[in-house]
């Protein structure tokens, strides 16, 4: 099992992430933020990554540090679990429908972190969750996982559906991009021989 474990402690957050890339999507999530727990739960389920995440953060201020730092730690754990990336599929893309919403997610496990995020929300909050934190999570995750990540919501209205389509789309694209492809024969999927 390709696994990763990251512990991140600052003056703002205390985070533990443990994951297995070749799992069944088992999730043990506790961030202190209800909607974010829901997003990480479905991220695990749809990526088939076994995921345990605990976040203790300074939510008396707001949820920003908790969500961003969770993205940093999760990205770091994925990069750790990937190791030399030998045999992986590398590229994947998905159109993820959720009711009236359609979001496209495309991934390149490139080692060159980059985020294109073309999703906007009419609502500022989903429950108590600030919708602007979806982008913060994706930015932190992409930068620390070392992936090129493109997210665009082609159309949608409901903020819950839009956010959920982004997290599910990331999960489904990762599931495919990180899978070991037997046709790669254990090689690094790059003509330069390294990623
Ligand atoms: O995996 P499903 O799409 O069947 O469940 C959606 C689920 O996340 C539920 O919380 C939801 C339904 N509409 C918005 N959210």
Nearest residue (CA) to ligand 1, atom 14: 161
Helix boundaries (H) for the chain:
34-47, 64-82, 133-145, 159-177
Say if ligand 1 is within 6 A of residue 164 CB: yes
Say if ligand 1 is within 6 A of residue 42 CB: yes
Q: Does 191 map to a domain?
A: no
Atom number of ligand 1 nearest to Cα 98: 3
Q: Exposed e or buried b for every residue in 105-116, given b needs 16+ CB within 10 A?
A: bbbbbbbebebe
Q: Does 139 map to a domain?
A: yes
Q: Does 88 map to a domain?
A: yes
Domain of 86 in residue numbering reads as 3-184
Q: How many domains does the chain have?
A: 1
Q: Does 162 map to a domain?
A: yes
Atom number of ligand 1 nearest to Cα 45: 1
What is the predicted pLDDT for the residue at 135? 98
Q: Does 79 map to a domain?
A: yes
Encode pLDDT of 82-99 as tens digits. Answer: 999 999 999 999 999 999
Q: Does 150 map to a domain?
A: yes
Nearest residue (CA) to ligand 1, atom 10: 38
* Tokens (6 digits) for 150: 């493109």
- Residues of the chain with confidence (pLDDT) below 70: none
Dist. CA 101 → ligand 1 center (Å): 12
Give the torsion through C-alpha atoms of 190, 191, 194, 195, to 10 deg.
Answer: -40
Distance CA 56, CA 15 (A): 6
Atom number of ligand 1 nearest to Cα 161: 14
What is the predicted pLDDT for the residue at 1? 85
Q: Does 194 map to a domain?
A: no
Domain harbouring 93, CATH code: 3.30.230.40
Q: Which long-range contacts (CB under 8 A, 24 or more apart) does 179-187 make?
A: 179/88, 179/89, 180/87, 180/88, 180/89, 181/87, 181/88, 181/89, 182/87, 184/86, 184/87, 184/88, 184/89, 185/87, 186/86, 186/87, 187/86, 187/87
Tell me how long the chain is.
195
Distance CA 90, CA 42 (A): 22
Say if ligand 1 is within 6 A of residue 160 CB: yes
What is the predicted pLDDT for the residue at 154? 98
Dist. CA 18 → ligand 1 center (Å): 25
Say if ligand 1 is within 6 A of residue 45 CB: no
Atom number of ligand 1 nearest to Cα 160: 14
Other beta carbons within 10 angstroms of residue 190's beta carbon come to: 13
Q: Does 190 map to a domain?
A: no
């Amino acid at each position: 099992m390709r696994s990763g474990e990251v512990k991140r402690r600052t003056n703002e957050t205390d985070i533990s992430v443990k994951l297995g890339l070749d799992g069944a999507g088992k999730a043990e999530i506790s961030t202190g933020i209800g909607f974010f727990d829901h997003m990480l739960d479905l991220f695990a389920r749809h990526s088939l990554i076994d995921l345990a995440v605990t976040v203790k953060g300074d939510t008396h201020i707001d949820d920003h540090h908790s969500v961003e730092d969770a993205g940093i730690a999760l990205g770091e754990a994925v990069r750790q679990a990937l190791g030399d990336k030998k045999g992986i599929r590398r590229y994947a893309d998905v159109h993820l429908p959720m009711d009236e919403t359609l979001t496209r997610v495309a991934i390149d496990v490139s080692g060159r972190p980059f985020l294109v995020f073309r999703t906007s929300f009419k609502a500022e909050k989903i429950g108590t969750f600030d919708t602007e934190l979806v982008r913060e999570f994706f930015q932190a995750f992409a930068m620390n996982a070392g992936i090129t990540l493109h997210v665009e919501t082609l159309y949608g209205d409901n903020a819950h559906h839009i956010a959920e389509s982004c997290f599910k789309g990331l999960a489904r694209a990762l599931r495919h991009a990180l899978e070991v492809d037997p046709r790669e024969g254990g090689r690094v999927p790059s003509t330069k021989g390294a990623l």
